[in-house]
Amino acid sequence: MPESEPPIALDAMGGDHAPHEIVAGAVQAVREHGLSIVLVGSPRVLYESLADHDATSEIPIVRAEEALAMDEGALSSLRRPRSSIAVACHLLRRGDASAVVSAGSTGGVVATGKLRLKAQQSVLRPALAVALPTRPRPTILLDAGANAEVKPEMLVQFAHLGSAYAETAYAMDAPRVGLLTIGAEPEKGNKLAKRAHELLKATHGITFIGNVEGHDLLSGAADVIVTDGFTGNVALKTMEGAVRYAFTELSESISASPMARMGALMQRGRLRDLSRRLDSEAYGGAALLGLNGTVVIAHGAAKAASISAACQLAATLSRRGIVARIGERLATGHRPHRLW
Amino acid sequence: MPESEPPIALDAMGGDHAPHEIVAGAVQAVREHGLSIVLVGSPRVLYESLADHDATSEIPIVRAEEALAMDEGALSSLRRPRSSIAVACHLLRRGDASAVVSAGSTGGVVATGKLRLKAQQSVLRPALAVALPTRPRPTILLDAGANAEVKPEMLVQFAHLGSAYAETAYAMDAPRVGLLTIGAEPEKGNKLAKRAHELLKATHGITFIGNVEGHDLLSGAADVIVTDGFTGNVALKTMEGAVRYAFTELSESISASPMARMGALMQRGRLRDLSRRLDSEAYGGAALLGLNGTVVIAHGAAKAASISAACQLAATLSRRGIVARIGERLATGHRPHRLW
């Protein structure tokens, strides 16, 4: 890591397990992955927490006495210019941080990020991108919840944002973009999807493979799947719920007979690995794409390992220049408004 | 079964495995569940298929030489008044059948049903209801795909349709209705969901418990979950895909080590049971609610057992008077247009 690279600003006060799991995640990111981190939050509390890890000399603290509560939404971010997430964004904006990571409420982080960092030039709406645990390589779903109401041309931009993300974070070449809807034929779907299909087909610079359906989120049929933030959020949570359900059912089924229980013991390690990989905990966080700076939102229930993973994702996106790549994509003739 | 009850009209030409699996399902429904069935389709083909089961004297055939192909959509149903599904609807309409069951393309069956049977009085839009395998009792999701674009007042009607379905098919008392959106607070969601929340809160005759999210589809938090047909269809297919994914991952994980494989052998039977219960095959089909007659749409890939289950569901709904119950709900002061 070059000496000149600024640290990642980690919002230490956001998340169900803040600040202790956040601090533990920071320590893990620094010690195990060599990242440079600055914690943003209440110095007294954070100093004590760092002391528990003997890490007071390894990780600096930037003061922010306020914090957004997990149930505070978009509006509260306007009322709290000194919240830990606002201060973290401020560090990024003035070049004292290379990226922001927060496990705070999605609505609050999105609103604060948009307010403090502003959308990149030409970006109509920043969007939340999540990497689903598809194999052999992840599928990027966006928008996962930043925009409940969108227009067709925004979905075209999401295709660019998602393609840039797939290229940057996963070194994918010409990522295949699918449109999430309710049938393979171009005329299947609601008005938004039908119009977006036409626009995507006519857009240069993305590899549009057509419509995909709900079961394709984990089938590997597409590398990037675009949809509005309402549908994307429902689909993401449905997926998490269904995977959790399948494992619960399985555990009950396993513990129901002594013979099966014996078998289960033998498999426990593998099951645990699998479950961890599938769990939303391990996604490493959602990237808020289209802002003037890299912002990663970890799961609200994130513990140390997830926080560390989110910091790694933020570092990768920042080092490989996701913001510049999105800028290039939207500037070099790939703008959807060329189409009409 | 009273002698006077007309048989169920089973579209023998619709579905990926028509007609043989459809006929096998009919035979199963008649012999194992005592249902009365009439097969609708090509007499020559169906007679041969029935002969394979020695069932030519048990199940009558009604001629329909045309059929909707699985890739034919809504419009084709208008052009084919003599298709097997159209003839089945005709039998129901003139009282010669008590219900219709088809594994044909959802779009085609929905369009034909609406055209031939018409919507019940006061019903703005018929909707597709699916019973999810939630425990201890199913959760009804609607609309699962009949209406890609809806208005808020339609979601209120869906709440009535779904409540009537839960009461009729599962004898639930005062089923709890949730609105599918992207956050627990009333103001979370798109415009449609926000307005629908207000209307549902003000509607008498349903037990509205507020917003639910994607992970609640299988959590048992609500007995009935209402949403537009676009979101509902994406969520349903996402759920099916995620459950399938979890089991594939699990099978691979199981076969990856000899010790685990040994354990797996012991569990195979239980796993198979579980997988079958979760599989979309076993849902018994989606009910198209709000028409002047009971229509059940089996999965396109349905085999004999699913067809038999769909016939049982159709018989239950018809015997217990789902159409009358919906009529009562929409007629007795529960109409949403009372609200504005």
The predicted pLDDT at position B277 comes to 63
- Give chain A positions within 8 Å (CB) of B274: 249-250, 253
The mean pLDDT of chain A is 88
The reply to whether residue A73 touches residue B234, judged by beta carbons under 8 angstroms, is: no
In DSSP notation, B250-314 reads: HHHHHHTSHHHHHHHHHHHHHHHHHHHHHSGGGG--EEEETBSSEEEE--TT--HHHHHHHHHHH
Tell me how long chain B is.
Answer: 340
Stated as kind and residue range, the H or E segment containing A295 is strand A294-297
A85-113: average pLDDT: 95
Q: Classify residue B174 as left (phi > 0), alpha (psi -120 to 50) or beta.
A: left
Tokens of B186: 């009333």
Cα torsion angle, A220, A225, A231, A234, sign: positive
The reply to whether residue B235 touches residue A238, judged by beta carbons under 8 angstroms, is: yes
Tokens of A314: 């933020």
Helix, strand, coil tally for chain A in percent (to 5): 50, 15, 35
Give the gap in angstroms from C-alpha A206 to the nearest C-alpha of chain B: 23
- Between residues A76 and A206, which one has the greater pLDDT? A206
Residues 6+ apart with CB under 8 A from B40: B9, B10, B11, B12, B13, B61, B62, B64, B84, B85, B87, B88, B91
- Give chain A positions within 8 Å (CB) of B193: 148, 230
The predicted pLDDT at position A227 comes to 98
Facing residues of A39 across strands? A10, A61
- Give chain A positions within 8 Å (CB) of B217: 238, 241-242
For chain B, how far is it from start to end, CA to CA, in angstroms? 45
Distance separating alpha carbons of residues A108 and B114, to the nearest angstrom: 45
Please report where in the chains the tokens 């007659």 appear, as a residue.
Answer: B293
Residues 6+ apart with CB under 8 A from A195: A152
Residues 6+ apart with CB under 8 A from A96: A6, A9
Distance separating alpha carbons of residues A126 and A120, to the nearest angstrom: 8
The predicted pLDDT at position A9 comes to 98
Nearest to A106 by CA among A239, A235, A21, A15: A15
What confidence tens digit (pLDDT) does each residue in A60-75 have? 999 998 888 777 766 7
The predicted pLDDT at position B69 comes to 78
Helices B304-319 and B20-33 pack at an angle, to 10 degrees, of 50
Nearest to A175 by CA among A184, A185, A183, A165: A165
For chain A, how far is it from start to end, CA to CA, in angstroms? 45
Distance separating alpha carbons of residues A330 and A336, to the nearest angstrom: 8
CATH code assigned to B1-123+290-320: 3.40.718.10
The predicted pLDDT at position A339 comes to 40
Distance separating alpha carbons of residues A177 and A141, to the nearest angstrom: 10
- Give chain A positions within 8 Å (CB) of B239: 214, 238-239, 241-242
For chain B, residues with pLDDT lower than 70 are: 1-4, 73-74, 77, 251-283, 332-340
Say how many C-beta atoms besides its own lie within 10 A of residue A191's C-beta: 11
Pick the CATH number of A1-123+290-321 from 3.80.10.10, 3.40.718.10, 3.30.450.20, 3.30.470.20: 3.40.718.10
Nearest to B304 by CA among B68, B96, B48, B10: B10
Asked if B274 is an interface residue toward chain A (Cβ–Cβ < 8 A), one would say yes
The reply to whether residue B149 touches residue A191, judged by beta carbons under 8 angstroms, is: yes
The reply to whether residue A242 touches residue B217, judged by beta carbons under 8 angstroms, is: yes
Tokens of B329: 């709900």
Does residue A322 have a pLDDT over 90?
yes
Residue of B nearest to A237 (CA): B214
Stated as kind and residue range, the H or E segment containing B226 is strand B224-226
Contact map slice: A 132-161 vs B, CB within 8 A:
145, 148-149
What confidence tens digit (pLDDT) does each residue in A1-50 have? 445 689 999 999 999 999 999 999 999 999 999 999 999 999 999 999 99
Contact map slice: A 276-305 vs B, CB within 8 A:
278
- Between residues A81 and A121, which one has the greater pLDDT? A121
Does residue A257 have a pLDDT over 70?
no
- Give chain A positions within 8 Å (CB) of B215: 237-238, 240-241, 244
Tokens of B320: 């217990």
Question: A274 — phi, psi (to 5°)?
Answer: -65, -50
What confidence tens digit (pLDDT) does each residue in A229-247 have? 999 999 999 998 888 887 7
Residue A68 near residue A105 (C-beta atoms within 8 A): yes
The predicted pLDDT at position B330 comes to 92
Distance separating alpha carbons of residues B262 and A266, to the nearest angstrom: 8
Asked if B75 is an interface residue toward chain A (Cβ–Cβ < 8 A), one would say no
CATH 3.40.718.10 residue window(s) in chain B? 1-123+290-320, 127-281
Residue A74 near residue A108 (C-beta atoms within 8 A): yes
Asked if B270 is an interface residue toward chain A (Cβ–Cβ < 8 A), one would say yes
Interface mutation vs chain A, best among B230, B248, B273, most A CBs within 10 Å: B230
Stated as kind and residue range, the H or E segment containing A8 is strand A8-11
Burial label, B31 (beta-carbon count in 10 A; 0-12, 13-18, 19+): middle
The predicted pLDDT at position B184 comes to 85
Tokens of B249: 């991952």
Asked if B35 is an interface residue toward chain A (Cβ–Cβ < 8 A), one would say no
Q: What is the ipTM of this complex?
A: 0.90
Contact map slice: B 210-229 vs A, CB within 8 A:
213-219, 227-229
CATH code 3.90.850.10 for B127-281: no
Of A241, A259, A263, the CB nearest to B214: A241
Contact map slice: B 236-255 vs A, CB within 8 A:
236-247, 249-250, 253-254
- Between residues A172 and B3, which one has the greater pLDDT? A172
The predicted pLDDT at position B81 comes to 84
